[in-house]
Chains A and B, each alone.
Chain A
Amino acid sequence: MIELKNVNKSFGELDVLNDISIRFEAGKTNLIIGQSGSGKTVLLKSIIGLHEVDNGHIYYGDRDFTAMNFNERKLIRKEMGMVFQGGALFDSLTVEENVSFPLDMFSDMNEDDKRARVKFCLDRVDIKKAHKLYPAEISGGMQKRVAIARAIVLNPSYLFCDEPNSGLDPVTAIVIDKLIHEITVEYKMTTIINTHDMNSVMEIGEKILFINKGVKAWEGSNHEIFDTENQSLNNFVFASNLFKKIKKKL
C-alpha cells in the first residue's frame, strides 16, 4: 500500500503538483491518467524519490518515505521495481546481464541460482531467444518486456511503470498491460502505472487517479469512469471519436 498526503511539487515558479492525496492498494493495478504535461511523470518520480516533494508525505505501508534519509530509503528502494518510459535498459549490457544486474548488485545468490532466476523472469515476460542480444538489437516492445523482467527480478513489493505501452501497437500494448496485471495479482504488489491510453484504462484500471494540470480531479475505477459528471475527465475520456460513438451506443 502506498499513500500520498497533500503532496506538492514545483519547479521554480512552475507548480506541477498541487495538494495530491490518494491511497494505492496492494495487489491492484493503480493507474495515474491525465493529459501530456499534466504531471504524471513528476508524480511518479516524486513517489519513488527521484524528485523531492516540497510539502506533504508519502507512505510505504506505515513508513514515511519523505522523512527518510538516503540510507533508510535505500532499504525501501530494494523493494521497488521501475519500468521507465523509454525502458532505460543499460546499453552496454546484454538482455540477460540487464536482468541479472540487480541480483549481482544486491543479492547473495550463487551464479546458478542467479541464472535460474534470470531465466524465470525472462520466461515470465515471454523473452525466449534474445538473452545474449544488446538492447539496441531488440524491438521496442521487447525492450519494455525486458525492462519489466529487470524490475521484478528482486521480487519487489512495489512496481512502477511510466507509460509501459507507449509507442506499441494495440495488440502488444494489451499483452504488456495484462502481463503487469497478472504479475501484480500473483505477487500482491502495489503497482502504479502512468498512462494516457484508454485501452489500458478499460483493461486494467482497478483504481484510477485522474490528474488535470497537477490537481487531483477524480478518482475511481474503470467501471465508474463512463458515468462520471466530471467535465475535464469526460473531455479526456471521450477525446476520441471511437469512445464518443461507444458512449452514444451505450
Chain B
Amino acid sequence: MSFIENIGQYVLFLNRVFSKPERRRIFFDQIIKEIYKLGVNSLGIVVIISVFMGAVISLQTAYNLDNPLLPDYLVGYTTRESMILEFSSTIVGLILAGKVGSNIASEIGSMRVTEQIDALEIMGVNSANFLVFPKIIAAVFINPFLYVISVFVGITGGLLASYLADTVSVADFLYGVQYSIIPYYISYSLIKTVVFAFIITSVSSFYGYYVSGGSLEVGRASTKAVVNSSILILLANLILTHILLK
C-alpha cells in the first residue's frame, strides 16, 4: 500500500473510531479496563527508566562541571529541566510506543485474524469504535499522570545518585531543582504527552485492525506499529516544539 493510501485509510479509520458508542455503561467499563492495561501496567517500566535516566543526567552534569565559576546547584537544575522538557515526555513516549504500541497492535491484529472482529461486525457492533475509542481515551487520560510521575521519580533518581556518588550536596541539588521554574514548560510537555498518547494508540490500533493473514502478519504489523508511531512521535515533537516554544 502506498503512503498516500495509508493516510487516507487511517483517516477513514479514525472516522469510524470516533462515533457514538453503542452502550455508555460498557464503554466506561472498557475505559477503566484500558486505563489499567495501558497506564497502570506501564508504571513499572516508566519508573525504572526514569530513575536511571535522572541518575545518569545528574552524574554527567556533575562530572562535566569542571569550571569552578559554575554553581553546584546546576546539577539539580539540569536534571529537572531535562526530565520536564524532553525525557518524561518524548523518551517515555518512545518507550511506551514500544511497549503499549506492540501490545495494542498484536491484540487487535490477532482479533482480526481469528475473526473476532468479524464476529463483532456481524452482531452489528462498530468494531473500530468498540475496540479503539476506549484505548485512545484511556491513554490520553492516563499518560499525563505517567509524565508527572516520571518527572518526580527522575529527579529523585538524580538526587539519590549525587548523594551516593557524593558529587554535589543534597541542599545544592534541591536548590537547583527549585531554581527558576517555568510553568509553561510543564504545559508544553503535557501537551506533547497527550499528542503522543493519541499517536501511539491510534496508529498501533490502525496497523492491528487492518492485518490480513495469520500470526506472522500480526507480528509484522506490530513491528510496523512501533516503528511508525515512533517516527510520528519524533516528527510531532519537532513540530510541537517549533509551535509552542517559538
Is there an interface contact between B122 and A82, defined as CB atoms closer than 8 Å?
Answer: yes
Report the bound CA distance from A102 to B122 in whole Å: 11
Is there an interface contact between B116 and A50, defined as CB atoms closer than 8 Å?
Answer: no
Is there an interface contact between B116 and A91, defined as CB atoms closer than 8 Å?
Answer: yes
Closest residue of chain A to B116 (Cβ to Cβ) is: A88
Secondary structure of the A side of the interface? mixed
Report the bound CA distance from A49 to B125 in whole Å: 13
Report the bound CA distance from A192 to B118 in whole Å: 17
Instruction: Indicate the size class of the contact surface on chain B.
Output: 10 to 19
Report the bound CA distance from A49 to B119 in whole Å: 12
- Report chain B residues within 8 Å CB of A85: 115
- Report chain A residues within 8 Å CB of B26: 104-105
Report the bound CA distance from A80 to B123 in whole Å: 7
Task: Quote the shortest CB–CB distance from A61 to chain B (angstroms).
Answer: 18
Is there an interface contact between A106 and B114, defined as CB atoms closer than 8 Å?
Answer: no
Does A140 have its Cβ within 8 Å of any Cβ on chain B?
Answer: no
Is there an interface contact between B119 and A84, defined as CB atoms closer than 8 Å?
Answer: yes
Is there an interface contact between A80 and B122, defined as CB atoms closer than 8 Å?
Answer: yes
Is there an interface contact between B115 and A86, defined as CB atoms closer than 8 Å?
Answer: yes
The proximity string for A residues 72-107 relative to B, scoring 1 for CB distances below 8 Å and 0 otherwise, is: 011001101010111011110000000001101110
- Report chain B residues within 8 Å CB of A73: 124
Is there an interface contact between A77 and B124, defined as CB atoms closer than 8 Å?
Answer: yes
B residues with CB within 8 A of A: 22-23, 26, 110-111, 114-116, 118-119, 121-125
| Other contacts beyond A90-B111, A105-B22: 6, CB < 8 A | A50-B122, A73-B124, A84-B119, A86-B115, A88-B115, A91-B110
A residues with CB within 8 A of B: 45, 48-50, 73-74, 77-78, 80, 82, 84-86, 88-91, 101-102, 104-106
